[in-house]
Amino acid sequence: MKAPISSALAAIFLTACATAYRPYTFLGGGGWKEVQIADNAFKVTFEANGHMSKTQAADLALLRAAELALANGYSHFIIGSAPDDSRTGAYTTPSTTNINLTTYGNSTRGTAQTYGGQTYVFSFPAPSITVVLFKEKPPLSTTVYDAALVAKSIKVQYGIK
């Protein structure tokens, strides 16, 4: 019974592609998470699988921040902090050695070949941003994002409806 389940899970992971732009689901390979931390502030994280670049994951966190601003009646936002919660890991495949021996009288000759032992390094991007939302563009000396422009631009860039 365990073999069919293991095979099915392996097939899912081997055929997976980049994380879809959607709310976070563990079995879906990631997505966005958000938590409201003040009346006009949110922490947004986009957890991606190993098939997505850090840049794309950061763009999708920015898109979610813009959507939150617009959905809550705000037109602009700034990024207060942007820690990187990405995770990396490695997996080394098991190694196997095949030995072929041939004996001629008192002598034995052989060959040995070792397969496997490759190490694969993977990264799961998870940019996290804290955003402060504004009803109008504030006169600040930091980057102020226009929520509508950010949402439109990133959706076009990644073909998101």
What pLDDT, in 10s, does the model give residues 141-158? Answer: 999 999 999 999 999 999
Please name the amino acid found at residue 42: F
pTM greater than 0.75 (yes/no): no
Is the model's pLDDT at 107 over the cut of 70? yes
Is the model's pLDDT at 10 over the cut of 50? no
Q: What is the pLDDT of residue 16?
A: 52
What is d(CA 161, CA 156) in angstroms, rounded to the nearest whole number?
A: 8
Q: What is the mean pLDDT of residues 102-118?
A: 90
Is the model's pLDDT at 74 over the cut of 80? yes
Other beta carbons less than 10 A from residue 47's beta carbon:
24
Tokens of 99: 């030995």
- The DSSP symbol for 127 reads B
Please name the amino acid found at residue 61: A
Tell me the CB-side half-sphere exposure of residue 59, using CA atoms within 13 A.
19
Other beta carbons less than 10 A from residue 31's beta carbon:
20
| Length, in residues, of the chain | 161
